[in-house]
Structure formats: structure tokens, C-alpha cells
Amino acid sequence: MRLRVEFTTEPFDLDEVPAHALAAREALDAAGLDAVDVGPFGNTAEGGAQAVLDAVDAVLREALEAGATRVSLQVNVLGEKAGESAGESAGEFSGEGA
């Protein structure tokens, strides 16, 4: 299963990039996801389910530790990998609550 994550961190600062935004972007870059788009009002990336979920965990932890007071986040299911059935993709990621 492929997922797309989109997120923003707050508080905003139009004069300079806040530390929490830099930390979140560094965590996103380190995740090695596809189709990464970083912008002043939102960031998006795509990848396999486990990679995206791991990236979300890292982004949340790093942004909050760096002073974010709010992280708005959306995750969308893009579909299956080529040649994979829905049953096969269900086992692609694991973890508590999954």
C-alpha cells in the first residue's frame, strides 16, 4: 500500500523558518520517501505504508521537541503497489494499534 502524508507545523513565522519546521523537514528528508515537496505552508511526501508511518512518527517527535505547538497532518491511501493484492498489502506494516 502506498500512502501520501501532508503536514504543517505551527506557530508560523513569515520572517524566518522556525526551528520546528526545520526539524520536521530534516526528519522527512531522512525518511527517504518519494515525491517530497517542501513548502512554506505545507509539506508532502509519498511512499510505502511502513516508511510513511515511520516518517510521521519522526516528524511529530522532532517537530514537537523543537518547539512546535501544533502539527496538522493528513495521510491518504494512494493504492496498492503494482502486482500486489489488497490482502498482501495488509501485512506490509505492523505496530501497536495497526
> What's the CATH code of the domain at 65?
3.30.70.930
Asked if the structure places residue 82 within a domain, the reply is no
Range of the domain at 20: 2-77
Asked if the structure places residue 94 within a domain, the reply is no
pLDDT exceeds cutoff 70 at 1:
yes
Helix (H, G, I), strand (E, B) or coil at 62: helix
pLDDT at 83: 45
Asked if the structure places residue 84 within a domain, the reply is no
How many separate domains does the chain show? 1
CA dist., res. 65 & res. 14, Å (int): 21
Asked if the structure places residue 88 within a domain, the reply is no
Asked if the structure places residue 83 within a domain, the reply is no
Quick check: bond before 18 cis, omega within 30? no
Q: What is the pTM of this model?
A: 0.78
Over residues 33-48, the mean pLDDT reads 91
pLDDT at 80: 74
pLDDT at 95: 56
Asked if the structure places residue 45 within a domain, the reply is yes
pLDDT at 85: 43
pLDDT interval class at 39 (50, 70, 90): confident
Q: Are 27 and 59 in contact (CB under 8 A)?
A: yes
Question: Over the chain, what is the mean pLDDT?
Answer: 86
Query: Cell digits for 97?
Result: 494499534
pLDDT at 66: 98
Over residues 68-90, the mean pLDDT reads 74
CA dist., res. 92 & res. 80, Å (int): 11
